[in-house]
Structure 1
Amino acid sequence: MPVTKMLESTVGESSCTLGATEVGAQLGLSAATINAWAKTNRMPAYRIRRSWLVLRVEFEAWVASTSTVPGQSSSTWPDPLASLPPYLSLNATAKVLRVSVPTLGQMLTQGDMPHLDLGSRKRISLDALRTFLDSVRNDGPRVL
C-alpha cells in the first residue's frame, strides 16, 4: 500500500501536505534525496524546525512542470489551503505542518507564528498560516 494511501486511511482524508518520506515514495527516491533537493532549492518545500514538508498541490504542479509530455499545463492548480476553515485548532494546524502539538505550542510561545489566544483555547488563522509558510519556504521553483 503506498504511503499516501496509508496516511489517508489513518487520517481519514488526504492531507494537503506531504513529508519527505511520502514524496520519496511517490518518486521512488529516498527521503534523504528529497531532503537534499529541498535544501538546495531543487523543489518547492517548507522548512519546519528540522523537517521539510511539501504542499501536495505544489508537488503535483512541480512534477507536471518537469514532464516532457507535450500539452501538460499546471496553470489551473487550486489553492492548497482552500479546503481549510478560516481558523484552525492546534491539532489541525499541527497536522498540516506535520509537527506534534507540543512542538506547535513551542512555536507559538516563541512567536514563530501569530495566533489567537482565546483563554484556554488557541486558534491559528488561515492568513497567519499562509504568512508563516511563506516565511519558511525555500526558494525552490514556483510553479503556481
Structure 2
Amino acid sequence: MADKYDKMLRHFFSGGLDVEIKMREATLRQTGKTHENIGGGRAKNKQFNQVENGLIKIESDEYLNQLKKQKKDIQQCVDMFSDEHKEVFYQYYRNKLTWQYIAQLHFINESTARRWRDELKRVYARQVISDES
C-alpha cells in the first residue's frame, strides 16, 4: 500500500502526471482519416462539428478524468502542509535526495522528515478512501 502511494506521489511531484494528462489529451484530439462515404447513403440533416466532438471525447474519457482527479486530490493534500513540508516533499520525490541530506538542509531530524512524508501519505490515503465511499 505504501509503495502504491509513493509511486503516485513521485509521479505527481516529478511532473509525470502532468505530462501523462497532456499526452492523453493530445491522443484524444488526434483525428484519423475522415470517411467521405462516397457512393453510400448519408443522413441529410446530420450536423458534424469536429471541435464539439473532440471536446465531448475529452470530457467523457474515463482514464483522463481519473488522472485529473488524482492530480487534484494530491494537490489538495499537499496544500494542507506548510511551505517547509512542501519543500521536503519536492526534494524527496522530485530531486530524489536522501533523507539524511534533506534533514541537514532543513536542520531537522531524519525521522521528522520521514514522519512528514508518512503524514502526507496518510492524508492522501484518507482522501482516496473518502472519495471511494
Identify the TM-score tier after normalising by the shorter chain: 0.3 to 0.5
Give the TM-score normalised by the residue count of structure 1: 0.31
Give the TM-score normalised by the residue count of structure 2: 0.33
Larger RCO: Structure 1 or Structure 2 (Cα < 8 Å, ≥ 6 residues apart)? 2
Higher strand share: 1
